[in-house]
């Protein structure tokens, strides 16, 4: 007998599918994404580089609208879509919100697209016959609609609860966009099961957008997932001709950018192709082992639940509600052995499919196992919230003293001050977590989404408190703004022509530093060898040993560092020119 005709491993009663109020879910995801988008400077590297590419076309125009630039420097990697979207948001909202905050409106767009795609794709799969729970002898099982909505809600909650993506989703970079387009592709495959034309259009747009965001490293995971999803034994096989239609749509959209970009700058396209080539390769053994070390914490707590789903549904592995998210997981796994160096931007693309699989694990779990998830959330985030307060007391009041010394070592030069409204807001958030703990322990709710809600609420409250209480100290450590202002003041006093800022060349300056100086003060660098001023990035050790460039025969006009940076040193020099 076919596994699809057997009873499924899902066991559920109607009370467990009690609806999660839409307002609560909306407020939760809003509280998750907004803190960290305001009240801080862009940080290095991807965060500030992304903002610099958005500002450059608005300041310089011309070909920088077609191919990404950081000031006058051509950035031959990734693609232009995030740049276009961010520049548009800055143009529309920059006058009211400021350039930095306006650029982060794109994060709201990408996060919203991610959640909508994951929710609706899971809802479509959860309503299918293969996914339904076992019918109870005397009735009482949930309706198809309630069951699908429950799974969709849990998938969103598990995505929000994933630890590793927290900072990345608040960056002005390609990472939030890539997660959004991969999620859209997942939703497209789920839609192709019943409406192949619409699904093909969505898939084509998702693949084109992924390519225009991160070129081949962005497109290939989705392409691999689609090819796996359309395997001959899958339910999508009958719609395979629409996969070709999606590929054609993607190709047309991609060529609409590639051809004008090549005509505008063949050199940029050649460098861009070279960057794509360098991205792929057989990784060194220590890099190949990195995912084994990093993925378990990055994907916590979704990966154990996703693994459980694959085990519980192993006889239904080809059923669409398991096979489609599993195909996206396999698509990313295929990327790891051919990526020269993997890291968090690649790990992020595991989150959406694993969150969907985690949602389908919950109806198969015994009550004791589900309670374990609840207790984990209660203990873990109660400790995390306590640690936020302990660190804040140590920073401002010196209690405990040893923790204060550790913090001072990391934030050397920072002068703490208390903003009481943030303290009050954090106290209210702590009280809210206390109410959630009381709700779980004393009311003992039966809804299956309670564990996901506790995890998502815990990480959201912890993040919001960090943003309220700790953002000034973290911003001091990671922002280039004070250093950029000092360099700008020195350059403004130097002789220059036509009332412009004095020219400056760069020596050893990282891309993150270049982008930061351009974002904060519009400082760009010259390649003219007759320019007598050089901004140098070196280290304190090299300076002490006299091994930094221009150690002899140069006048130091300014020397400093970024915040509490203990390693890098920057010097503005006047050098002899021919």
Strand partners, 572: 535, 558
**Please, which pLDDT band fits residue 285 given cuts at 50, 70 and 90?**
confident
3-class secondary-structure state, position 179: helix
Q: What is the mean pLDDT of residues 442-465?
A: 94
Nearest residue to 281 (alpha-carbon basis) of 337, 363, 205: 337
Residue 1 is predicted with a pLDDT of 38
- Least confident span in 55-69, 130-144, 347-361, 529-543: 130-144
Q: Cα–Cα distances in Å, from 231 out to 195, 226, 272, 411, 461?
A: 18, 9, 33, 54, 42
Q: What is the mean pLDDT of residues 243-257?
A: 98
**Statement: residue 231 has pLDDT above 90:** yes
Distant-in-sequence, close-in-space partners of 430: CB < 8 Å, separation ≥ 6: 385, 389, 461, 465
Residue 578 is predicted with a pLDDT of 66
Residue 200 is predicted with a pLDDT of 98
Residue 138 is predicted with a pLDDT of 63
6-64: pLDDT as tens digits: 678 998 888 889 999 999 999 999 999 999 999 899 988 899 999 999 999 999 999 99
**Please, which pLDDT band fits residue 366 given cuts at 50, 70 and 90?**
confident
CA torsion, points 475, 478, 484, 485, in degrees to nearest 10? 20
Q: What is the mean pLDDT of residues 344-364?
A: 96
Nearest residue to 570 (alpha-carbon basis) of 550, 501, 553, 52: 550
**Please, which pLDDT band fits residue 480 given cuts at 50, 70 and 90?**
very high
pTM score of the predicted model = 0.95
**Statement: residue 226 has pLDDT above 90:** yes
- What's the mean pLDDT when you consider all of the chain? 93
- Least confident span in 183-192, 262-271, 466-475, 556-565: 556-565
Q: Which residue has the higher pLDDT, 419 or 3?
A: 419
Q: What is the mean pLDDT of residues 296-322?
A: 96
**Statement: residue 5 has pLDDT above 50:** no
Q: Are 554 and 475 in contact (CB under 8 A)?
A: no
Q: Are 441 and 455 in contact (CB under 8 A)?
A: no
**CA-only gyration radius of the chain, Å:** 26
Kindly state the tokens that stand for 243: 């996969």
> How far apart are the C-alpha atoms of 299 and 95, rounded to whole Å?
38
Most confident of the ranges 282-291, 349-358, 406-415, 508-517: 349-358
Q: State the pairing for strand pair 568-574/533-539.
A: antiparallel
**Please, which pLDDT band fits residue 373 given cuts at 50, 70 and 90?**
confident
Strand order in the sheet with 505-507: 505-507, 533-539, 568-574, 555-560
**Statement: residue 2 has pLDDT above 50:** no
3-class secondary-structure state, position 320: helix
CB neighbour class for 451 (10 Å; exposed up to 12, middle 13-18, buried from 19): buried
Q: Which residue has the higher pLDDT, 3 or 410?
A: 410
Residue 496 is predicted with a pLDDT of 77
Residue 302 is predicted with a pLDDT of 96
Q: What is the mean pLDDT of residues 338-355?
A: 96
Residue 278 is predicted with a pLDDT of 95
Residue 423 is predicted with a pLDDT of 97
> How far apart are the C-alpha atoms of 547 and 550, rounded to whole Å?
9
What is the DSSP secondary-structure string of 211-228? HHHHHHHHHHHHHHHHHH
94-111: pLDDT as tens digits: 999 999 999 999 999 999
Please calculate the CA angle 492-493-497 and round it to the nearest 5 degrees. Answer: 70
Please calculate the CA angle 173-176-178 and round it to the nearest 5 degrees. Answer: 100
Would you kindly state where each structural domain of the chain is located, as residue ranges?
3-364, 367-478, 481-574
In which residue are the tokens 């969505």 written?
202
381-398: pLDDT as tens digits: 999 999 999 999 999 999
Q: Which residue has the higher pLDDT, 324 or 531?
A: 324
Residue 156 is predicted with a pLDDT of 98
Residue 279 is predicted with a pLDDT of 95
CA atoms within 13 A on the CB side of 172: 35
Q: State the pairing for strand pair 555-560/505-507.
A: unpaired
> How far apart are the C-alpha atoms of 86 and 104, rounded to whole Å?
7
């Amino acid at each position: 007998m076919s596994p699809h005709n057997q009873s499924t491993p899902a066991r559920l009663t109607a009370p467990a599918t009690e609806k999660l109020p839409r307002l609560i879910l909306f407020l939760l995801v809003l509280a998750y994404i907004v803190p960290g988008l305001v009240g801080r400077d862009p940080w290095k590297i991807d965060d500030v580089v992304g903002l610099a590419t958005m500002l450059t076309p608005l300041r310089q125009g011309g070909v920088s609208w077609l191919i990404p630039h950081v000031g006058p420097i051509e950035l031959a990697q990734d693609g232009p879509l995030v740049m276009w979207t961010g520049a548009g948001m800055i143009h529309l909202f920059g006058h009211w919100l400021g350039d930095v905050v306006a650029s982060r409106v794109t994060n709201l767009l990408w996060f919203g697209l991610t959640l909508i795609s994951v929710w609706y794709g899971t809802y479509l799969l959860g309503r299918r016959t293969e996914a339904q729970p076992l019918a109870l002898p005397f009735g009482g099982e949930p309706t198809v609609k309630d069951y699908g909505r429950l799974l969709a809600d849990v998938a969103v909650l598990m995505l929000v609860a994933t630890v590793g993506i927290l900072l990345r989703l608040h960056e002005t970079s390609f990472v939030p966009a890539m997660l959004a387009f991969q999620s859209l592709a997942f939703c497209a495959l789920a839609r192709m099961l019943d409406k192949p034309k619409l699904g093909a259009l969505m898939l084509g747009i998702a693949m084109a957008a992924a390519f225009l965001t991160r070129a081949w490293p962005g497109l290939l995971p989705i392409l691999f997932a689609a090819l796996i999803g359309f395997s001959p034994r899958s339910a999508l096989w009958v719609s395979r001709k629409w996969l070709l239609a999606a590929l054609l749509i993607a190709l047309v959209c991609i060529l609409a950018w590639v051809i004008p970009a090549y005509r505008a700058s063949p050199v940029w396209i050649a460098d861009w192709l070279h960057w794509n080539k360098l991205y792929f390769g057989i990784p060194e053994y220590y890099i190949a082992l990195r995912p084994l070390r990093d993925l378990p914490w990055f994907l916590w707590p979704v990966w154990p639940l996703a693994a459980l789903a694959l085990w519980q549904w192993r006889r239904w592995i080809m059923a669409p509600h398991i096979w489609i998210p599993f195909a996206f997981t396999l698509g990313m796994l295929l990327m790891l052995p051919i990526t020269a160096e993997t890291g968090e931007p690649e790990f992020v693309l595991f989150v959406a499919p694993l969150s969907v699989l985690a949602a389908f694990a919950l109806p198969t779990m015994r009550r004791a196992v589900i309670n374990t998830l609840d207790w984990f959330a209660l203990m873990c985030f109660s400790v995390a919230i306590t640690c936020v307060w302990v660190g804040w007391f140590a920073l401002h009041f010196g209690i405990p003293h040893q923790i204060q010394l550790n913090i001072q070592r990391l934030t050397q030069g920072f002068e703490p001050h208390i903003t009481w409204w943030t303290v009050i807001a954090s106290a209210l958030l702590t009280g809210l977590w206390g109410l959630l703990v009381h709700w779980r322990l004393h009311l003992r709710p039966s809804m299956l989404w309670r564990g996901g809600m506790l995890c998502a609420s815990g990480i959201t409250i912890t993040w919001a408190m960090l943003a309220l209480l700790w953002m000034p100290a973290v911003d001091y450590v990671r922002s280039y703004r004070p250093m950029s202002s000092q360099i700008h003041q020195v350059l403004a006093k130097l002789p220059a022509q036509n009332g412009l800022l004095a020219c400056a060349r760069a020596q050893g300056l990282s891309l993150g530093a270049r982008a930061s100086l351009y974002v904060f003060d519009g400082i760009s660098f010259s390649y003219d060898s007759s320019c007598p001023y050089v901004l140098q990035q070196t280290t304190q050790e090299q300076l002490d040993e006299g091994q930094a460039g221009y150690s002899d025969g140069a006048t130091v006009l300014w020397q400093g560092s970024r915040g509490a940076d203990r390693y890098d040193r920057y010097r503005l020099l006047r050098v002899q020119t021919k």
